[in-house]
Amino acid sequence: MHKDQLESFITEHRESFDDAAPALKVWANIDRQLEAPKQIRLRRWKMVRMAAAVTILLAIGGVLGSYFTQVQSQNPTAMLDGRYPEYQEMAQYYQDEISRQVKLVSNSGQADPELFTDLEQIDATMAELKEELLDAPRGQEQEIVENLIKTYQTKLAILQRVLERMNQSNNQLNNSEDEISI
């Protein structure tokens, strides 16, 4: 019955309860507490945005890194040029000389088709050496680079011999024509 007395007291004095207003300090504390979740939400939102930006940048970096790694593994010559600048200079020299010699042989019209087949086989061997160089253990790289250079030298020597023989045969033909015309 104690509850009934409290209830009746509240009902009888209700108007006196409604007259009282809390102090301004109380309202200020309540107001601060209402603003705090908004700041926390904003901070969280900023953190989420920053985390998303970092994640996107890392993903883009990973994709680009994977792409460039794949491109370099597919093109061993580009990798060789970056790692061995002395090889790059020599290779460029030999490639220029070889292409010049091949043009001379091709323009002569006397080239043996087997010559070009042999040159293609040498190119295939060089491609294998370049692949080996990418996976070579430390210390063996120099040996493989030397083998690549020797292969260029061999290819150039073959072309020079072919040109010499072609010149000799042309000279013999010219000499025999000169003898006939006398």
Q: What is the reported pLDDT for 26? A: 81
**Could you report the per-residue pLDDT of 73-117, keeping only the tens digit for each?**
555 555 565 666 677 788 888 888 888 888 887 877 777 778 888
**Could you report the per-residue pLDDT of 13-61, keeping only the tens digit for each?**
877 777 767 778 887 888 777 765 556 667 788 888 899 999 999 999 8
pLDDT at 134 over 90: no
Q: What is the reported pLDDT for 143? A: 83
Cα(first)–Cα(last) distance of the chain, in Å? 154
pLDDT at 175 over 70: no
**Rounded CA separation 157/115 (Å):** 12
8 Å CB contact between 105 and 165: no
Q: State whether residue 17 is helix, strand or coil.
A: helix
User: How many other C-beta atoms lie within 10 A of the C-beta of residue 12?
Assistant: 9
**Could you report the per-residue pLDDT of 140-158, keeping only the tens digit for each?**
777 888 888 888 888 888 8
The one-letter code for the residue type at 54 is: V
Q: What is the reported pLDDT for 54? A: 92
Tokens at 45, concatenated = 């939102």
Q: What is the reported pLDDT for 181? A: 47
Of 84, 93, 110, the residue nearest 162 (C-alpha): 110
Domain residues of the chain, as ranges?
20-74, 76-181
Q: Residue range 166-171: average pLDDT?
A: 78
Q: Mention every residue, 6+ apart, whose C-beta is less than 8 A from residue 178.
A: none
